[in-house]
Structure 1
Amino acid sequence: MVRERNEKLAALLEEARWSRAQAAAAYNRVAEETLNGEVRENSKIGRSHVSMWVGGTQPTGIAPAILCQALSRRLKREITLQEIGFAASTSPAQGALDWRVDPLITLNDLGSGVDPERRRLLAGGVYSAAALILPDETWWDAMSRPPAEEPSTGKRVGLGDVETVRELTLAFSRMDQRRGGGHGRRAVDEYLRNEAHNFLRGRFADDETRRAMFAASAELAYLSGWMAFDNSEHAIALQRFNTAVKLAARSGDAPLIGHILRAMAHQALDLGFRREALQIAQASVHGERYAAATPRERALLGVVHARTLAANCHDQEAARALLRAEDDLSNAHDGIREPDRTFFFGEASLAHETACTLRDLGDHQRAITEFRRSVRTRGTAFRRTHAVTLGYLGATQIAQGGVEEACATWTSVLDAMEDGIYSGRARQRVVEMRRLLSPYRKRGIPAVGALDARAAAYLAQVD
């Protein structure tokens, strides 16, 4: 049987200016993020696979979704299966991202770390720009209304149960800051799927308790998403954020909705979806999400908004947003009760995000100053973010020609990583470190050779 050449795929590869080998390399990067090391059919491909698909062979397994996502990132727009010339397929994981799906149904499907079959289905999803399109105002209004009728059966739920969920969330949040998102997320998911799910299906003392429990569960789902994002499990992170937004919408807690949307914008920006990141960040500071927030949370929402503005070349607006975030944080004081979810955000975090914004604006020298301020002021309880900040600082230093200075900074990154940090974002700083050092390997700089060898040894142990 003679296969018909896939002209749609060939045209997209030409538009992306990718050779077959480059397309395969981009595919493999997305697959690694999505599967987190799980070996599946087509979890890693070579250029011959791409040639066969262009020649008319239909890819199997997760390959269509992975290739669509790789091309979407490259071309900065959503590429569908139809556009790429592949047969349409559905994925249970992608269905969970539909805003119409009840979050309680989604919570019931979180056992990906327990049930191998469910994990296989969830892994079919990929990080998708299409899932970043937020629902319209009618959806938010409908979600915030009390249910038409309360359940007549189920566990009696009180404010003590709400406090239990909050305490667990804070404990795991602190561990995430120390050890990274690769440590403990499945335990969070197990609690969400069982205990939190049962609470949400229970009988509430009053509407205030109902809203409080939905808000507490939303924060726990958000934490699971953030941990997955930090560990480079991007498809899982997007699913968790989506669920968290739905639960927060049910609670009617506008600042919490803004907090979760801010995280979604952060992830989208890190993955190169600049336009979508800006749209979500703008939604995070819209109306009561910003106006009803406490000063510390306003600063957090605002500085991520500034980053997305800078990434989209809105330089003056980004500068104004930075100044507003600084003012907001300066207004935070002990007399104002801040939500526990903002415990990590202080001078060091603001300096980190400010530095990233200045870097994206092309002001590398001021970015270095802010990265150093972040390193200097961050406490020992935030080791994971400390390693990420040092990684960014080293990258900015070497971009300015400070090779040996960057090596000294990156040595501190490896010191932290080797001491037990489980974070895909921090690990990526080590990968980036080796890439940025490669032009200097043959120049006989002792610090470069020693650091590169140590980085290679570290990656060999964790990969």
Structure 2
Amino acid sequence: MTARKSANQRLRMLLAEADWTGQQLARAVNAVAAENGIQVRYDRTSVAHWLSGSLPRPRVRPFAAEALSRRLRRTITLLDLGWAPLAGPADPNEQPDWPVDSVARLAHVCKTDADPTQGPRLHWSVYQAGDAAMPEWHTPTARVHAVAADSVPDAVELAATVLGTAIPFFSAALEVGGAHARTALAAYLGNDVSAWLHTIDLRTQSGPMATETARLLYLLARMHIDDAHEGLAQQYFRIAFDLAAATGDLTTQAVVLRAMSSQAGALRHVRQCLALIERACALLPDEAPAGVHAFVGSQLAVARAQAGQPFAARTALRRAEIFYQDDAERRDEKRDAPADFHTYGAAAWHFQRGRTLAALGEQASAADAFRTSLAHRSPLSRRARALTLAALTRLLLQAGHVEEACATYRELLGQDPRPRSARTQQALVDLKRRLRPFSKNRAVKNLLDELDQTGRSPTNERLSRPA
């Protein structure tokens, strides 16, 4: 805490409007912080200090703003809380003067992200749950300096081709772990790609170029999710959606919304998760590839299952399976490339099917689906394989199959090299915590003892860093 100041009446009024006690605000701040990879333990005494004029640490202030935004269902800024905006290159949540135009915003955010001195502050961006369900999308405006459409077709086609060839590389990098090549992708988008996009009017030129850029932003967002930068990932998804919307690419818009739904669901925002995927399904055109229909429809099944809609979830899963089977008949069975935005691989499909069945309480069927997913996983897909193993281990523990859970946990620990992934690290920590209650079981005791003795025990260092 910093030096005491005059009483904070703005915070007091917001607390009264929210009908919250100091303890309730503290709990909400702790929850938002944990969601964004930070462990804090504030209580009513902490809030009392804030009300009397003390300032929480800079890293924590946006969490309080987001907690009250969710409660009051409107955007609460640091100024509304009686706190000055953060100094320096603050995150997009506190930059209302940042460009509204998606191409200008792409350049600004990506260049900042790639800058080693400024990028870490962007990682502070807070995931906005209240804004996630139906965000206010912005479409790029026409550019005065954009060149005539008939003067650039060859250049635009070449740029779109170059962008498309970059997708497989960065998609493969994601499978090694979200930290790999992420800065390189941000720099590429912020410099070369944004320069290309600035020369054209997206409303009349280059649908393929905007589409390929949106797909790269989609991958960049997923890289940040994998490293627990949820707020920044959300910003990148929004820019990707804007670019696709500028050229009327409904399929890419639906794919981006599907990813945002998955992100919301992983953060346990069930209502937003369902709203986003329902909007994706409404946007997805009938003529979209069968693999995309399966990809989007499988997330609808998960969201409905998590929302307590079992009949609707099973209906969505059956419909998605029809599209998946149609896609499987068309694609080359030997191809398992996550960079392909038109087909839906067997490993990913069975993983999503397992998630749906687990949410429906069908544990045995869900475990079989996860095992099938693992059987189709390439050894090179270390991140996806680790997350599938973690999901299977968690499910086996819930079902009481402790010895088998120990075996899958050992397999997860034995990955070499282990993916550079905060999500994987958190899964290891969470699973070790879930194993503790079974410590009287010989298999569990031996495993925990071995972890402690060999120093292979996972730590929560990455996700419980101090604020």
> For this structure pair, what is the TM-score category when the shorter chain's length is used for normalisation?
0.7 to 0.9
1:191 to partner: Cα distance: 0.2
- 1:384 alignment counterpart: 383
- 1:134 alignment counterpart: 134
Q: TM-score, normalised by structure 2?
A: 0.81
- 1:57 alignment counterpart: 54
Count residues with an aligned counterpart. 444
Q: Is the 8 A contact 1:16 1:71 kept in 2?
A: no
- Please state whether the residue corresponding to 1:252 is helix, strand or coil: coil
* Counterpart amino acid of residue 354 in structure 1: R
Mapped to 2, the partners of 1:450 and 1:258 lie a distance apart of: 47
- 2:37 alignment counterpart: 32
1:129 to partner: Cα distance: 1.6
- Please state whether the residue corresponding to 2:431 is helix, strand or coil: helix
* Counterpart amino acid of residue 198 in structure 2: R
1:295 to 290, 296, 306: 290
* Counterpart amino acid of residue 283 in structure 1: R
- 1:410 alignment counterpart: 409
Mapped to 2, the partners of 1:3 and 1:426 lie a distance apart of: 43
Question: Equivalent residues in 2 for 1:378-457 (5 A)?
Answer: 378-416=377-415, 418-441=416-439, 445-450=444-449, 452-453=451-452, 457=457
Between the two structures, name the one with larger relative contact order (CA 8 Å, sep ≥ 6).
Answer: 2
Q: Identity of counterpart residues, as a percentage? A: 25
Cα-Cα RMSD: 3.9
Q: TM-score, normalised by structure 1?
A: 0.82
- 2:368 alignment counterpart: 369
Question: Equivalent residues in 2 for 1:40-51 (5 A)?
Answer: 47=43, 49-51=46-48
1:96 to partner: Cα distance: 6.8
Matched, 1:240 2:247: no
1:190 to 174, 182, 187: 187
* Counterpart amino acid of residue 62 in structure 2: A
Residues 2/168 of structure 1: CA separation in 2 closer, same or farther (3 Å cut): closer
Question: Equivalent residues in 2 for 1:121-160 (5 A)?
Answer: 122-123=122-123, 125-134=125-134, 150-151=146-147, 157-160=155-158
* Counterpart amino acid of residue 419 in structure 2: I
Residues 431/86 of structure 1: CA separation in 2 closer, same or farther (3 Å cut): farther
* Counterpart amino acid of residue 457 in structure 1: S
- 1:217 alignment counterpart: 213
- CA shift digits 1:278-324 (9 cap, x unpaired): 1110111114x241310111100000111111111111111001011
- Please state whether the residue corresponding to 1:389 is helix, strand or coil: helix
2:246 to 231, 244, 250: 250
Q: Is the 8 A contact 1:97 1:242 kept in 2?
A: no
* Counterpart amino acid of residue 233 in structure 1: H
Mapped to 1, the partners of 2:349 and 2:96 lie a distance apart of: 31
- 1:325 alignment counterpart: 320
1:332 to partner: Cα distance: 1.1
- 2:222 alignment counterpart: 226
Mapped to 2, the partners of 1:354 and 1:439 lie a distance apart of: 29
1:440 to partner: Cα distance: 2.2
